[in-house]
Amino acid sequence: MESNHSPFDMNRRVMIAGMAWLPALSGALLPTSSEGQTTSDVPLASWNDGSAKQAILDFVRATTDQGSAKFVPPEGRIAAFDQDGTLWVEHPIYSQVVYCLDRVPAVVEKDPKLKNVEPFKTVLSGNREAVAKLSLRELEKILVATLTGMSVDDFEGEAKKWLTNAKDTRWKRPYTELIYQPMLEVMQYLRVNGFKTYIVTGGGQDFVRVYSNQVYGIPVEQVVGTAGGTKFGYHKNGTPFLTKEPRLLLNDDKAGKPEGIHLMIGRRPNAAFGNSGGDREMLEYTGAGDGARLMMLVLHDDGQREYAYGPAQGLPDSKVGTFSQALYDEAKKKGWTVISMKNDWKRIFAFDKKA
Amino acid sequence: MESNHSPFDMNRRVMIAGMAWLPALSGALLPTSSEGQTTSDVPLASWNDGSAKQAILDFVRATTDQGSAKFVPPEGRIAAFDQDGTLWVEHPIYSQVVYCLDRVPAVVEKDPKLKNVEPFKTVLSGNREAVAKLSLRELEKILVATLTGMSVDDFEGEAKKWLTNAKDTRWKRPYTELIYQPMLEVMQYLRVNGFKTYIVTGGGQDFVRVYSNQVYGIPVEQVVGTAGGTKFGYHKNGTPFLTKEPRLLLNDDKAGKPEGIHLMIGRRPNAAFGNSGGDREMLEYTGAGDGARLMMLVLHDDGQREYAYGPAQGLPDSKVGTFSQALYDEAKKKGWTVISMKNDWKRIFAFDKKA
């Protein structure tokens, strides 16, 4: 197991609750490395043979073979993917929260009186242990200050710039390279087979839209996430624009995921992928439909190549990772497939050596 | 001009405000006539030659010709259509409001104490003049009672049944046949040219989704409308389901249209079509983008084949139709194209004789 000394090692539930405030903006292409888009003629090339890979192959065959009793016409094929911990690294802290903390100096520069006001003062101090101890309410203040109050276009510009320059502390790479290559292959395999792939994330809808097309090949309109309201208004010259408001429209986590799916997609997915208790209701909702169903949970059991965390691995639940024993039991009972990162994946990232 | 003696001749602003409560559900195919889907090898076959038709042709050429300075790659092509009065008949009353009034007896049957409670008592009386005089608050009560409190699936089933059986009083046809054939041709022409077509309606998102695919060829996820929240829960047997709640998430009218577009689509349309003040902000927002832009407004000036209403025709604004003189002036000033139903359209409906 990877030891964890991150200064931002906050309680996951705090993170999730805080994510409720993450708002939104117009997506665009991000000029990042194209490694994440690596394709292969062999479907699921980074997957070891086993029950997880087989479940994907069986599901696609059942839904796309016209002779199958469970055939689904192409226009009915929908697959939903959680993001944090399912498509990219979430441990020890959500990348979007790093973005918010990194934006604090710019916010204070614009509004200097915040300099001596908590929680901004603590963030500016650089005392990482103190930052890690910020309360939920304090964290929300940071999210609101860094994710709202600006135009949709300004937010997009700032987020794009950050994503281009910021690097994680362990791999020293842009966050947009910390994508699970096997999951990219699943998305691509499903798309090649006529599925419309959606991200359904507790993270900010506008934040994820900034890179979804470049990183996942998913257009902005297929990103469902926690979303705040915007307010239509006019610049002095009469040009209209939208301002991001601290008003929560959709908390796209737990029960909010099927609710968000209904709002944004309007029909039940045939397949859903997650990794935590935040995805439970989405998988239940997906599983309750007719015909072939595929529900999968990524288990973080690879402390060497990524991280190992969560009670299902006998590890404490106090940090990130709410893949609880109860969720594990529900998965077993309902026939959901648990993906072992350690055993099912030949490699984790596109930049890993090929197996 | 068509005289108007409808019992449901309510104030349009009342209707629009009331629509704020209209919620949502999973779309599906509706077994209606396929007349509305009539296609033709000739693009815009039901359009007379003129500036309106030419504006559409010019826009498509500018955005799809690779040699054009205003070329837009296919994945960037988005067109947004208002529904009521732009794609189908809205006069003298929105079809969805007829649905709600028609549902009142069933609601009262389930909850008999409502029988003697206003506004249900008035609706049950069959006194159409009294119904037409219901206040906004009373109308909202009817919308809430008939559009919320049931499961998403139950609502879809009821709405589908109604759409199959109900007929309008003038043409004696299902409402889903009162679609403007020339607008179907525009949508199809845009789709053939790589545009993704969206409905952006003040009407209920869930209601429109019931027939959007069958009637307009627009999948449910491309319907943006006034939307209420849903609540995730479980049946006694453990099966999850969503209940429609009387909680407004998106009032997709006026400024709510660009806000809804940002929430649901995440990028600015290249083209937008409307017919009233409820569409003004959407057209302004669309027009504020770079490159080729197409903003069009349908003018209801054909009292013989459809209806003529609105101040831009010198008619009063007190009923439906908020195509005000101010909107007309803004259109002229900003180069938006006004479509004259009378002069630009060879036929209005698919069931009209071909010209």
Of B221, B229, B265, which is closest to A266 when you measure between CB atoms? Answer: B221
Written as six digits, the tokens of B102 are 């028609």
Q: Is B231 on the interface with A (CB under 8 A)?
A: yes
Please name which of B179, B181, B190 lies closest in space to residue B56, comparing C-alpha atoms.
B190
pLDDT at A319: 52
| A154 contacts chain B (CB < 8 A) | no
Q: Is the dihedral of CA B249, B253, B258, B260 positive or negative?
A: positive
Between A94 and B348, the higher pLDDT residue: B348
Whether the CB-CB separation of A263 and B24 falls below 8 Å is answered with: yes
The angle, 0 to 180 degrees and rounded to 10, between the axes of the packed helices A325-334 and A280-287 is: 10
* B113-135 mean pLDDT: 93
pLDDT, mean of residues B109-138: 93
B44-88 pLDDT per residue, tens: 999 999 999 999 999 999 999 999 999 999 999 999 999 999 999
Q: What is the pLDDT of residues B285-294, one digit of tens each?
A: 999 999 999 9
User: What is the nearest CA distance from B44 to chain A, expressed in angstroms?
Assistant: 26
Question: Does B237 touch chain A if contact means CB atoms closer than 8 Å?
Answer: no
ipTM (interface predicted TM): 0.89
Predicted confidence at residue A23, as pLDDT, reads 32
Q: Which of A236-250, A272-286, B51-65, B301-315 has the lowest mean pLDDT?
A: B301-315
Q: How far is A174 from chain B (nearest CA, A)?
A: 24
Q: Which residues from chain A sit within 8 angstroms of residue B196, using beta carbons?
A: 221
pLDDT band at B353 (very low <50, low <70, confident <90, very high): confident
The C-alpha atoms of residue B95 and residue B174 are separated, in whole angstroms, by 10
pTM flag (> 0.80): yes
- Would you call B259 an interface residue with chain A, using a CB distance cutoff of 8 Å? yes
A–B CB contacts, 8 A cutoff, strictly below: 111
Query: Residue B265 and residue A232: Cβ atoms within 8 Å?
Result: no
* pLDDT band of B107, cuts 50, 70, 90: very high
pLDDT digits (tens, 9 = 90+) for B12-53: 333 433 333 333 222 233 333 334 444 556 899 999 999 999
pLDDT in tens, B228-278: 999 999 999 999 999 999 999 999 999 999 999 999 999 999 999 999 999
User: Scanning every residue of chain B, which has its alpha carbon at the shortest distance from the alpha carbon of A243?
Assistant: B259
Q: pLDDT class for A27, splitting at 50, 70, 90?
A: very low
d(CA A211, CA A27): 7
Asked if the Cβ–Cβ distance from B262 to A239 is below 8 Å, we say no
Burial class (CB in 10 A: 0-12, 13-18, 19+), B49: exposed
Q: What is the mean pLDDT of residues A261-270?
A: 98
Output the six-digit token pair for A13: 């539930």
Question: How far apart are the CA of B316 and the nearest CA of chain A, in angstroms?
Answer: 29
pLDDT score of A279: 97
Residue A269 pLDDT > 80 = yes
Question: For B142-161, what is each residue's pLDDT tens digit?
Answer: 999 999 999 999 999 999 99
Whole-number Å distance between alpha carbons of B328 and B316: 15
CB proximity A265 to B under 8 Å? yes
State the pLDDT confidence band at A249, using cuts at 50, 70 and 90.
Answer: very high
Q: Please give the average per-residue pLDDT across A265-281, as a whole number.
A: 97
What the block records as the tokens of B14 is: 């009342």
- Would you place residue A322 in the very low, low, confident or very high pLDDT band (cuts 50, 70, 90)? confident
Token pair, residue B133, equals 């005089």
> pLDDT grade, residue B193 (50/70/90)?
very high
In this complex, which of A25, A223, A242 lies closest to B258 when CB atoms are compared?
Answer: A242
- HSE (CB half, 13 Å, CA atoms) of A156? 22
A4/A306 Cα distance (integer angstroms):
12
Interchain proximity A242–B229, CB inside 8 Å: no
Alpha-carbon distances of A203 from A18, A143, A256, A278, rounded to whole Å: 10, 12, 12, 11
What's the pLDDT score for residue B100? 97
pLDDT of residue B8: 34
In a mutagenesis test of the A interface, which of B226, B262, B268, B295 is the best target, namely the one with the most A β-carbons within 10 Å? Answer: B262
Q: Which residue in the set B220, B264, B267 is minimally distant from A267, CB to CB?
A: B220
